[in-house]
Amino acid sequence: MKIALVQQANTADREANLARSLKAIGEAATAGARLVVLQELHTGLYFCQTEDTDVFDQAEPIPGPSTQALSEAAAKHGVVIVGSLFERRAAGLYHNTAVVLDADGRLAGTYRKMHIPDDPGYYEKFYFTPGDLGFEPVDTAVGRLGVLVCWDQWFPEAARLMALAGAELLIYPTAIGWNPEDPEDEQARQREAWITIQRAHAVANGLPVVSVNRTGFEADPSGVTAGSRFWGSSFVCGPQGEFLAQAPTDQETVLVAEVDMARAEQVRRIWPYLRDRRIDAYQDLLRRYRD
């Protein structure tokens, strides 16, 4: 199966961002992709660099305008689309939510981001309520998709639970970048850690992994920090963590990779981690910490 990742640099013009995403979906379909994955919060700037109540005006219901546009694109091109939206569930209740549109345009499912960061430049707890839908894969025309979002990608528990629920592919829409003031060696370590942890999820679960990140520089509206330079580097890897395709750090691109969806079965036969798990000995994983 061909999978396309849309790595994009965003502006404050939300309609233009969505239009460019839709154009990229068409390009991906022309290239033969059956699944197209967009980056985290792809309709706008990454607004979590600051805390601003006016930003909540950008949130929208699901279904809503963006899901309608993605639905029409999915049906038009006959592709499955994974999008990422700022969901307004109710007044004062908002989520960072991934949506999955099936190849016939139907809203196949949603995933609300479970792990919410709160770090300088990533003040997501101000905006997003932690997800309450659990780690449930979404069934589509191209298979059972284990969709997670950005900060989720650092947690092996999330990947494992998606795998245990039958996910055939792990997908991570992402918005992560460098502090431009960090030294180059620290920037390199952060990017490599981000790549390594996700490749490890592929290996540990015997599943392909798709990670799509934004690129470009976005200023801090408050001027408190030096802003964020998103490091792109979107990639697809196979069930042994092998790279199948990787995008550059600093360019917009529609990255297309071919994934052998049957290969996970073969890999799991020679590396049977699910068989050898000691589920009788993992009780302490439900504790915050062993004092």
User: For residue range 127-182, what is the model confidence (pLDDT) as tens digits?
Assistant: 999 999 999 999 999 999 999 999 999 999 999 999 999 999 999 999 999 999 99
pLDDT band at 221 (very low <50, low <70, confident <90, very high): very high
Q: What is the pLDDT of residue 236?
A: 98
Give Rg (Cα) of the chain.
18
pLDDT band at 289 (very low <50, low <70, confident <90, very high): very high
Q: Catalytic: 113? A: yes
CATH of 2-286, one of 3.40.50.300, 1.10.1040.10, 3.40.50.410, 3.60.110.10: 3.60.110.10
Q: What average pLDDT does this structure show over 66-93?
A: 98
Q: Which of 48, 87, 124, 150 is catalytic?
A: 150
The secondary element (H helix, E strand) that includes residue 198 is helix 184-205
Q: What is the pLDDT of residue 156?
A: 98
User: For residue range 97-121, what is the model confidence (pLDDT) as tens digits?
Assistant: 999 999 999 999 999 999 999 999 9
What DSSP string runs through 83-120? EEEEEEEETTEEEEEEEEE-TTS-EEEEEE-----EET
Q: Catalytic: 48? A: no
Cis before residue 65, ω within 30 degrees of 0? no
Domain ranges for the chain, please list them.
2-286
Q: Do 84 and 149 touch, CB atoms closer than 8 A?
A: yes
Q: What is the pLDDT of residue 53?
A: 97
Q: Residues with Cβ < 8 Å from 259, sequence gap 6 or more?
A: 1, 2, 3, 169, 208, 236, 238, 244
Q: Residue 152: how many CB atoms within 10 A of its CB? A: 25
User: For residue range 10-66, what is the model confidence (pLDDT) as tens digits?
Assistant: 999 999 999 999 999 999 999 999 999 999 999 999 999 999 999 999 999 999 999
pTM, to two decimals: 0.97
Q: Catalytic: 181? A: no
Q: Which of 48, 113, 168, 237 is catalytic?
A: 113
Q: What is the DSSP letter of 121?
A: T
Q: Over the chain, what is the mean pLDDT?
A: 97
Q: What is the pLDDT of residue 249?
A: 97
